[in-house]
Amino acid sequence: MNKNKLFFLPLAILLCMPTHAQTLMQRYKSLLVDPNLYACYRTTEKIKVDGQLNEASWKKAEPTVEFSDISGAGFAKPKYRTTAKMLWDDKYLYIAATLEEPDIVAKLTNRDDIVYHDNDFEVFLDPNGDGIEYFEVETNAMGTIFDLFLDRAYRSNGNFLTQWNCPGMQIGIYCNGTLNNSNDKDKYWNVEMAIPFDALKINFDDAIKQSRCWRVDFSRVEWLKKKGPEENWVWSPTGKIDMHMPERWGYVHFINAPVGSEKTTVSYPYNKEMYNLLWVIFYEQQSYYKSHNKYISTIQELPEIGNINESDNSSSALKDKYKIQLEATTNSFEVTVTDTDNKVSYHLNNEGLFTILK
């Protein structure tokens, strides 16, 4: 029998089968996992940044959940355990991480070397949570720093500025094992950072006074195989192999109480339905632009949005529950989602700039 007929017959059958278009909420479901939350308390003492984590404040600080694969649920659990902790005082944000590692290796030695070519630990900070103008600091087990400032995410043609060297930052590394000796078995390495709030100013705004709830994420790059691919293990998964999605990072609340105090319950600072609705429209616009070299210009042209909760059988879809306004030119767009009952609007543009309008 002709092999071509064998190929086209099943294809013809498939084309005749009924299909059900995905809603936007279904299409981008993997990106809509709730970000992790962390309550960051004040240190009660001076922190010596040496990687030892001996202070009582560190011992009282709660660790984050264990890091997981960057792509989220359904992907393999990381081979080695990683957790982080945070503290703060009037001057610094303190970050500590413990990375389980049987063979601690680091080769890069120069400031602003591409540190993730080694096994590394990475910090991402968006102090005002607007999705643009954020900071990244990376280090390997030798304490080599790669720090940069980004004006917006790479997906929006963002620029990175390696000229930014986090002024006043302190870093300490402690290795429970021997660095660059593969003949023995190591246990873990610690990273400890003190990042000055003054180093994170944008437009002269004091970072900690501007907002007490930041978007933060941590990433660990691990090269289990010399030629890769590398593993990406993170605190708050983004849903795809891309750390430069500030809208998917965790929420860190700065609690004005000593570490060890009665626990404060922290929550999401936004209406999650409205926030996710805004971002699925953004993701669809990004996808559409890649295929058509222009943006969708009207709400009517968008695919069915659906509901966040797939088990919700109510007839009221999100587009009926909230007022959606979309304005677009060929190369730009703005979308606003409004809760008319509570008189609040969330606004987003094609660069990923998120603002709240009241």
Q: Give the residues of the chain that fall short of pLDDT 70.
A: 1-20, 308-316
Write out the two tokens for 215: 């978007």
Q: What is the dihedral of CA 286, 20, 70, 235, to 10 degrees?
A: 100
The pLDDT of residue 20: 52
How many C-beta atoms surround the C-beta of residue 302 within 10 A?
18
List the domain boundaries for the chain.
36-258, 272-357
Beta bridge partners of 134: 150
Q: What pLDDT, on the 0 to 100 scale, is given for residue 309?
A: 65
pLDDT (tens digit, 9 = 90+) per residue, 275-313?
999 999 999 999 999 999 999 999 999 998 887 665 544
Nearest C-alpha neighbor of 29 from the set 326, 307, 320, 312: 307
Q: What pLDDT is attached to residue 308?
A: 66
At residue 9, the pLDDT reads 37
225's enclosing H/E stretch is none
Task: Return the CATH architecture of domain 36-258.
Answer: Sandwich (2.60)
**Per-residue pLDDT at 227:** 87
The rounded distance, in Å, linking the Cα atoms of 277 and 272 is 8
**pLDDT value for 51:** 98
Strand partners, 122: 138, 219
At residue 314, the pLDDT reads 44
Q: Tell me the C-alpha to C-alpha distance, in Å, between residue 3 and each of 9, 15, 51.
A: 10, 19, 65
Q: Is the pTM of this model over 0.95?
A: no
Please give the torsion angle defined by the CA atoms of residues 240, 244, 248 and 252, in that order, rounded to the nearest 10 degrees: 140
